[in-house]
Structure 1
Amino acid sequence: MTDSIGQPAWMTAPATAAVLDALEAAGGADCARFVGGCVRNAVVGRPVDDIDIATVLTPDQTTGALAAAGLKAVPTGIEHGTVTGVCQGRGFEITTLRRDVATDGRRAVVAFTDDWGQDAQRRDFTLNALYARRDGSLVDPTGQGVADAKAGRIVFVGEPEQRLHEDYLRILRFFRFLAWYGKTGADEAALAACARLKDRIASLSAERISKELLKLLAADDPRASVELMLKAGVLEMVLPEPIDIERFNGLVEIEADQLFETEAVLRLAALLPGDQLVAARLAETLRLSNADRDRIVEALAPGPALKSWMSPREIRRTVYRLGQAAFRDRAKLAWAAAARTAPAMQWRGMIALADGWVRPVFPLSGEDVMAAGVPKGPMVGQVLREVEDWWIDHDFLDDKLSAIEKLKAVAQGMAY
């Protein structure tokens, strides 16, 4: 009996049908099949986001077929045979069947083919070398893909080292797919090959490495995969700094236990040592976005130290200084590092108070300071900061008149 994924909604949607109709009008029935992630996720019962299609049509033929049907074609990877078809605002990555002619571990020279088996042989893992026809029937050229997907086995197509020499990013992809789809532990041959070739990661661009790393860390529970990366010497090729694996493990556990949102960037911060200079240097090396870099650096600041027993007043004062996002990040990291010695209720209550508090606006301005007799210049800021410190110490007193009286007292005590 042929395996089938049925016909889920994404497969029969009008936009999907229109793209397949266009391709089949040019190449005949079964000239195009669904491939890769959408098929894999359908097999294992996970949501499908992106829809990729493989076809025997050449890129030029694909472009012509889409145009004939009134659909947009974007040459997103034409040298590798990929055209993105756009229908009803949705993109479909359509790639011609291909085989590798030459590879250097970073990029490949490909030749187009009409052989589905050859196309499957150049893919990374058996669970990604699956195709589905329009009627939902599965095509499994390696003979292992469906079984491996259902069992959660991450197995390279053919010889692991050969697959890795084609693209060294597959070393990181192995651990990423293990984190997302693995159920039975690591394939020993694959793990050994990744360990032997780990030095080749240095040949990859920082952008490719960081993108793959953050995808790995976004898995529900990447702890086992990260531990294997550490033991295999792969993690140090990506993060060449001392690793705080205990804090990382603690954060993942907290997120799972407390139903917090999974945040890959904060997990990366948890892995790093508590040194802002090291974090900033590593963020630059990985070419992280400015926002991700700043978040990690801020999360790893040495102070103020957060404790689970902070009073509500102390929490409000700290949130005012740090902002809610930075406070939440630091609280989670402090909680993770504390080995859960304090009751979870205390940490969660602290974060909830910070998230629910509306940060007040300091009621005075520079104009108020000058109205109190302080001449325009640096002294204005100095006086304003001193009064703001008083206002914070008084738990953000909701009384502008009292703040003005304090301002007058400070201003009278200043020597201009």
Structure 2
Amino acid sequence: MTLTHAPWRGRPGLAKLLDVLGADAGETRYVGGCIRDTLLGLEVSDVDLATRLAPQEVLTRLEAARIKAVPTGLAHGTVTAVIQGWPVEVTTLRRDVATDGRRATIAYTEDWQEDAARRDFTINALSADPGSGEIFDYFGGLADLETRTVRFIGDPLVRIAEDHLRILRFFRFHARFGAGAPDVAGTEACAARANDLMALSRERIADELLKLLGLPDPAPTVALMIARGIFRPVLPEITSAKRLAALVEVEHGVGIAPHPIRRLAALLPSDHEVAAAVAARLRLSKRAAARLVSAADSSLDEPGVMAYEIGAEEAVDRLLLAGCRDPNLPALQTRSRPRIGISGGDLIAMGLSAGPLVAKTFQAVEREWARSGFPEDKEALRALARRHVDQALRSSQ
């Protein structure tokens, strides 16, 4: 089989890069996802190359050709070439010398099959000659693409022992590329070795989990992972995918793109403390952690008011999680935040003394203004503020 022409193969600068790296002499090939996705008719974003050239030789050639070279993973044989502003990873053929489930000690090789053998799944081990387009398939990846089967190369237990993250990758790749029930041997191996996930950094777990949850419909795969005890060692809070399945349906119904943090919230109990604990365990960013905690709050209000008070994204999260199918929700995400035409200084000018009472009164003015539909009439707003100031003054006497 040959690789059909695809738009990514004509990207500016790619032909020069391939020439510099000796593709015509068989030194360099396309590898991995760009081949897989092209054969599946999917859009290709990243182009990766594998080469027989040693990393230092790659750097020397790129520099001589005045192609920007970044030694992004030189210890593992990877150099990133930047052509016309977009990156191409160039990795020297490798074989594993030793592994501990988290990282590998590698040695370089010139054997294409030996390099392919260290990859995780058959559909990721394809390579192709850039000139002829000939596809090299050492482990049945083409047949697995035909049947949409995600299958480990060799013994699944051995591959998981090499890198425990492959447990999560197996399910993520099935959710993205698979059809029907997942490969039995792979599923059984992942279930048997689920405790191995405890040895991984929580950042790596979070990265894989959020990638899975960002797919169009991960709910059936997540339900299977729960049934097979995959989450139990590291995220025992995840016990059901029913809320996730309902959320996916609502998102599709109203036309809102999925967000992995919102979907993670659907897998957790509606509890602030649980959400905060999970966010800390996964070492989420402050922004992501705050959004997860907000989504755990099931209290609702009028959509516009919620967007003003807690933020548009947070409001949409809560509404979708509650099953809201309002067709105006997509517009709520992009609507600019209304600006109230009054300030704390105006309240002081009306008679309040500077201090906590000003902030408390301003919040009361804001709440009523928001619940009145954000009126723009300045006189009406001043009258509303005057009323709250007078009430505050009476209460403070």
Both structures adopt the same fold (TM-score exceeding 0.5) = yes
Which residue identity lines up with residue 262 of structure 1 in the other structure? P
Which whole-Å CA distance do the structure 2 matches of 1:221 and 1:408 have between them?
52
Contact 1:226/1:235, CA 8 A, preserved across alignment? no
Q: Which residue of 1 aligns with 2:92?
A: 96
Moved more, 249-258 or 176-185: 249-258
Q: Which residue of 2 aligns with 1:9?
A: 7
Q: Which residue of 1 aligns with 2:338?
A: 360
Query: Within the alignment, does 1:169 sit opposite 2:157 as a pair?
Result: no
Which residue identity lines up with residue 349 of structure 1 in the other structure? P
Query: Within the alignment, does 1:386 sit opposite 2:364 as a pair?
Result: yes
Q: Which residue of 1 aligns with 2:382?
A: 404
Query: Within the alignment, does 1:292 sit opposite 2:288 as a pair?
Result: yes
Q: 1:325 aligns with which of 301, 313, 318?
A: 313
> Secondary structure at the residue paired with 1:349?
coil
Contact 1:217/1:268, CA 8 A, preserved across alignment? yes
Contact 2:126/2:138, CA 8 A, preserved across alignment? yes
Cα distance change on mapping 1:244 and 1:64 into 2, 3 Å: same
> Secondary structure at the residue paired with 2:154?
coil
Q: Which residue of 1 aligns with 2:111?
A: 115
Contact 1:99/1:113, CA 8 A, preserved across alignment? yes
Moved more, 157-166 or 351-360: 351-360
- 1:29-76 per-position Cα deviation (integer Å, ceiling 9, x unaligned): 111100011111111111111111111111111112212222122211
Q: Which residue of 2 aligns with 1:58?
A: 54
Which whole-Å CA distance do the structure 2 matches of 1:71 and 1:357 have between them?
43
Cα distance change on mapping 1:395 and 1:47 into 2, 3 Å: closer
- 1:228-271 per-position Cα deviation (integer Å, ceiling 9, x unaligned): 21111112234221434211011112233443212222111111
Which whole-Å CA distance do the structure 1 matches of 2:232 and 2:295 have between them?
22
Q: Which residue of 2 aligns with 1:372?
A: 350
Q: Which residue of 2 aligns with 1:226?
A: 222
* Offset at residue 410 of structure 1 (A): 4.2
Cα distance change on mapping 1:28 and 1:203 into 2, 3 Å: same
Cα distance change on mapping 1:290 and 1:368 into 2, 3 Å: same
Structure 1 residues without counterparts, runs of 5 or longer: 307-313, 336-345
Q: Which residue of 1 aligns with 2:133?
A: 136
Which whole-Å CA distance do the structure 2 matches of 1:393 and 1:74 have between them?
54
* Offset at residue 315 of structure 1 (A): 3.6
Query: Within the alignment, does 1:48 sit opposite 2:29 as a pair?
Result: no
* Offset at residue 359 of structure 1 (A): 4.2
* Offset at residue 140 of structure 1 (A): 0.5
Contact 1:101/1:110, CA 8 A, preserved across alignment? yes
Which whole-Å CA distance do the structure 2 matches of 1:111 and 1:30 have between them?
20
Corresponding pairs, count: 393
- 1:88-116 per-position Cα deviation (integer Å, ceiling 9, x unaligned): 22211111111111100111111111111
> Secondary structure at the residue paired with 2:182?
coil
Q: 1:196 aligns with which of 178, 192, 197?
A: 192
Contact 1:55/1:97, CA 8 A, preserved across alignment? yes
- 1:260-319 per-position Cα deviation (integer Å, ceiling 9, x unaligned): 21222211111111011111111111111111111111111142x36xxxxxxx443333
Which whole-Å CA distance do the structure 2 matches of 1:133 and 1:239 have between them?
43
Q: Which residue of 1 aligns with 2:155?
A: 159
Q: Which residue of 1 aligns with 2:325?
A: 347
Q: Which residue of 2 aligns with 1:19?
A: 17
Which residue identity lines up with residue 251 of structure 1 in the other structure? L
Cα distance change on mapping 1:127 and 1:370 into 2, 3 Å: same
Contact 2:253/2:325, CA 8 A, preserved across alignment? no
> Secondary structure at the residue paired with 2:233?
helix
Cα distance change on mapping 1:277 and 1:130 into 2, 3 Å: same
* Offset at residue 355 of structure 1 (A): 4.6
Q: 2:272 aligns with which of 263, 271, 276?
A: 276
Which residue identity lines up with residue 10 of structure 1 in the other structure? W
Which whole-Å CA distance do the structure 2 matches of 1:78 and 1:37 have between them?
21
Which residue identity lines up with residue 361 of structure 2 in the other structure? V
Contact 1:169/1:209, CA 8 A, preserved across alignment? yes
TM norm structure 2: 0.93
* Offset at residue 10 of structure 1 (A): 1.5
Contact 2:306/2:312, CA 8 A, preserved across alignment? no
> Secondary structure at the residue paired with 2:44?
coil
Query: Within the alignment, does 1:39 sit opposite 2:27 as a pair?
Result: no
TM norm structure 1: 0.89
Which whole-Å CA distance do the structure 2 matches of 1:382 and 1:394 have between them?
19
Which residue identity lines up with residue 145 of structure 1 in the other structure? G
> Secondary structure at the residue paired with 2:326?
helix
Cα distance change on mapping 1:99 and 1:361 into 2, 3 Å: same
Which whole-Å CA distance do the structure 2 matches of 1:242 and 1:7 have between them?
43
Moved more, 175-184 or 349-358: 349-358
> Secondary structure at the residue paired with 2:105?
strand
Please give the root-mean-square deviation of Cα atoms over the aligned residues, in Å.
2.0
Moved more, 72-81 or 377-386: 377-386
Which whole-Å CA distance do the structure 1 matches of 2:360 and 2:252 have between them?
46
Contact 1:43/1:150, CA 8 A, preserved across alignment? no
Which whole-Å CA distance do the structure 1 matches of 2:361 and 2:167 have between them?
58
